[in-house]
A and B are shown apart, each in its own frame.
Chain A
Amino acid sequence: MNWIILANARKRKARLVMTVGGIAIGVATLFALLSLSAGIERALDREISGMGANILLLPEGCPYELTLALMQGSDAFEHIPTALLPDIRAVENVDVSVPVVVGKARVNGQLTSIYGTTQVLLELRQWGIDRIEGAVIGSDVAEKLGVGEGDTLTIRLYAEVQLPITRVLPPTRGRDDTFVFLALDTAQQILGLDEKLSAVLIRTSSVGATTQAQYTLGRMSDIQAVPPSDVFARLMELFASIKQTLILITGIAIVAGVLTTMNTMTMAVYERKKEIGILRALGSTRRNVFRLFVHESLLLSLLGGLVGLAAGFVATQFLPRTSGFGLEATPQFSFLYVVICLTVAVIVGVTSSLYPAMAAARTQPIKTLREL
């Protein structure tokens, strides 16, 4: 049967290209959407778990916006007073507490995120260094500014400071690559946030003690204690609603693809009336003709699915890496997505071929031959 389909396709190349192209566009969109979504989810997970904290202490306000601002290195309107730090450290089971201030400043003339903290941060990050001295910079910053270890950075906003670069961090593929890390008080001075903190990262003495510590910290005035896992779950819910909308739009595009393919196949039935009439005269049953058209559509849709997967893969390589919550998200590919996309392609192919195949099977050989 395949050679009959191939012979027909060879004669009608334009139709083949249009049918395969229509299915491929839908599949490519779906594949790109699935892999990019997975990439964003993974990036979000990596960033939040990469904080190394069990609890995030944030100023009052929307915890999700504040967490995103912290991850993106943007200054927020609300802050935690530095004076609260002794009380925070006094809470039972608080093992490590890292004060953090973030914001954007001019670094060698370019707007860059700065991250002020203390040496305690090194207990949460696995960077392989003992001290944060001068400026420790992420690999993206080094590339963007064209600087390296031993060079001097001029950082300016509310104050101007010159710091030597003591270390360029190896690439982490996370937000750390985009920060200039420096001493807390220096960052506060530059950002004009004296005695103010963007957040405090807390690690408890044990995972079991987190709930109790969160409860105690949450009762302190002007701050809120949020487990990163809760933030992650909430952000994922927000992202899921966006993803659902995108999938719905893709679904509509796929339905449009079904109708277009159905229209193309129906036209093909009329165009191939002679061929069908001959097939029937030669002894082809209605079932044979029906199966031929469904089989043809199935092969075309599978081909469209494969082309779509390739096109989707290529598209993800050209799309901007920074997307979704301002995180650098590398698309994540999975065999499951390949299966989903090919299944969708097959469903599109079979669904769109049913009506044309039935029309073809109803062809009366004698009527067709008389009309020729």
Chain B
Amino acid sequence: MKIELNNVSKAYGQGDARFWALREATFTASSGDFVSIVGPSGSGKSTMLHILGCLDQPSEGTVCVDDQDTTSLNDAQLSRIRRDHIGFVFQQYFLNASMTVLQNVLLPMDLAGVKEGRKKAAVALDVVGLSHRLRSFPAELSGGEQQRCAIARALANRPSLLLADEPTGSLDSKSGRAVLEMMISLNAERDLGLVIVTHDEAVASTAHVTLNVLDGRIS
């Protein structure tokens, strides 16, 4: 699977208040790649990640998923791309507090109509080392465990691309390192494309490619 950003720009607001968060970004991410996006806060890193993950649409330029232009797709088609091909990991984990660890991972499988979802969700949690926490609720987990649960959820539908927005930002250094090592090993073992937005130079240095974003432009 391949996602291409071609001269993508993203603006917010109208008229004089119009603000360009991203300018003429061109970039490709494929299965097996490991790309880090670095830059100061407000530079446009997350905007780029959201457009890459079909969560947001560009104001200008095109986004192609396997050579298909997604700017002409409707909401349902974009949702299906997210569901079937892309996994998201966020800094704040965004787990559903009313669901158990197992149910959080089961959720995307249920949306995709996966059969034997519970069994597969348990396997995904085993991969991230949480097989002993299936019936726990997110509030009962440490930050590192919650992020590992979020990774298991992102991997639930076996995506080709894992997009992580500062995944270690809320974790202590030890937990952060463990989470990062897990994602790197998944990238290597599963041919999983990995795009990480990070402030952490150490994280960026482990990536195959590093993109520096400054004032909305890739430098």
Interface residues of chain A, those whose CB is within 8 Å of chain B, are 1, 3-4, 7-8, 10-12, 274-275, 277-288, 365-366, 369, 372
Contact = CB atoms under 8 A, between A and B. Distances in A.
Contacts of B111: 279, 282-284, 288
B43 to A, nearest CB: 16
Interface in B82-125: 82-84, 88, 90, 92, 94, 96-100, 103, 106-108, 110-112
Nearest to B88: A281
Interface of B is mostly: helix
Contacts of A11: 97-98
8 contacts: A3-B103, A7-B103, A10-B98, A283-B82, A283-B108, A284-B111, A288-B111, A366-B56
Nearest to B50: A366
B92 A372 contact: yes
Nearest to B57: A366
Nearest to A280: B79
A316 to B, nearest CB: 37
B17 interface: no
Nearest to A367: B56
A4 B75 contact: no
B153 interface: yes
Interface in B62-94: 75-76, 79-84, 88, 90, 92, 94
Determine the interface band of chain B, counting residues with CB < 8 A from chain A. 20 to 34
A365 B55 contact: yes
B130 to A, nearest CB: 18
B82 A282 contact: yes
Contacts of B112: 283
A285 B79 contact: yes
A283 B98 contact: no
Contacts of A287: 76
A293 to B, nearest CB: 15
A283 B84 contact: yes
Specify which of A11, A12, A275, A369 lies most central, judged by the most chain B CB atoms within 10 Å of its CB: A369
Contacts of A8: 98
Contacts of A282: 82-83, 88, 107-108, 111, 153
B92 to A, nearest CB: 7
Contacts of A284: 79, 83, 111
A154 B82 CA distance: 91
Nearest to B109: A282
A285 B110 contact: no
Contacts of B157: 283
A260 to B, nearest CB: 23
Contacts of A288: 79, 111
A281 to B, nearest CB: 6
A7 to B, nearest CB: 5
B44 to A, nearest CB: 13
Given A282-B88, A286-B75, A7 B99 contact: yes
Nearest to B80: A283
Contacts of A281: 55, 82, 88, 94
Contacts of B75: 285-286
Nearest to A10: B98
A70 B207 CA distance: 98
Specify which of B81, B82, B92 lies most central, judged by the most chain A CB atoms within 10 Å of its CB: B82
B147 to A, nearest CB: 15
B107 A4 contact: yes
Specify which of B81, B92, B96 lies most central, judged by the most chain A CB atoms within 10 Å of its CB: B96
A283 B97 CA distance: 19
